[in-house]
Amino acid sequence: MYEQYSALTVNLASLKQFKHYLRLLNMKTTILIAGLILNSFMLFAQDIVTTQKVDSINNPLKLATATLKKTEGASMLPTNDIAGNIAKSSELSAFYKAIQISGLDETFKSRGPITVFAPNNQAFGGTMAGKLDTLQRADHKYDLITLITYHSLSGIITAKDIGHAINSNKGFATFITLTGSKLMAKFDANRNIVLIDENGGQSVISKFDLKQSNGLIHITTAVLIPRFKNL
């Protein structure tokens, strides 16, 4: 009887060890499977990133780096509104002066969102300097307002959005500005985004997608001129 009891005790102990072994084996198997799943996921994610990088290399959206200054837009903060950031930018002081004279400060401080094509200071040189002097006269205030709002679109329009619109419309995209007038866009030979005004004048986006609290700013190399009745 004692021997039977001892054998039973041994069998129970062996059974407990066996169950413990199974639990350990199950935990190791679970960890192994989890590790394999995690490794597969990481490889999948790396493959997606690699694919995106290859796609961006094969289909780049280039801008005019030849005319781009590294300082353009450097002083802007995404927490500031459009008017505040243009005021802080030394490259856009001529454009900001025109905004002040036109009385559109509050427009560019509004909730928006608004996308602005902001000409740099060089854009206001040459023959444009004389036109700007005329526009800043009191009897041409409404023409100045038209000029400033012609550089603005309702909503947030990124460089990628412009590029897609160009590609989707046989090489030319048309946008309606805040004046209600048309502004066109195309790619040049180097796939820079070129804006075309109503008079055929062209302006290259030299710095793009500068985020603002109430919209977006793209810095451009020339002033866009709408059709004026009295200028």
Report CA torsion sign: 44, 46, 52, 54: negative
The neighbouring-strand residues paired with 152 are: 116
Q: Is residue 76 part of a domain?
A: no
Reading the chain (231 residues) residue by residue, the pLDDT tens digits are: 544 444 444 454 554 554 554 454 454 444 443 443 334 433 333 443 333 333 433 444 554 443 444 445 557 888 899 999 999 999 999 999 999 999 999 999 998 899 999 999 999 987 777 888 888 888 888 999 999 999 999 999 999 999 999 999 999 999 999 999 999 999 998 899 999 999 999 999 999 999 999 999 999 999 999 987 555
Do 121 and 212 sit in the same domain of this protein? yes
Report CA torsion sign: 68, 73, 74, 78: negative
- Domains of the chain: total: 2
> 0.85 exceeded by the pTM?
no
Do 55 and 91 sit in the same domain of this protein? no
How far apart, in whole angstroms, are the C-alpha atoms of residue 72 and residue 107?
A: 23
Which one-letter DSSP state was computed for residue 89? Answer: -
How far apart, in whole angstroms, are the C-alpha atoms of residue 119 and residue 92?
A: 7
Q: Is residue 68 part of a domain?
A: no
How far apart, in whole angstroms, are the C-alpha atoms of residue 126 and residue 128?
A: 5
CATH code of 104's domain: 2.30.180.10
Do 53 and 120 sit in the same domain of this protein? no
Do 47 and 110 sit in the same domain of this protein? no
Do 86 and 55 sit in the same domain of this protein? no
Query: What is the span of the domain harbouring residue 14?
Result: 1-59
Q: Is residue 74 part of a domain?
A: no
Is 67 exposed, middle or buried (CB count within 10 Å of its CB: 0-12, 13-18, 19+)? middle
Do 54 and 90 sit in the same domain of this protein? no
Q: Is residue 13 part of a domain?
A: yes
Do 102 and 172 sit in the same domain of this protein? yes
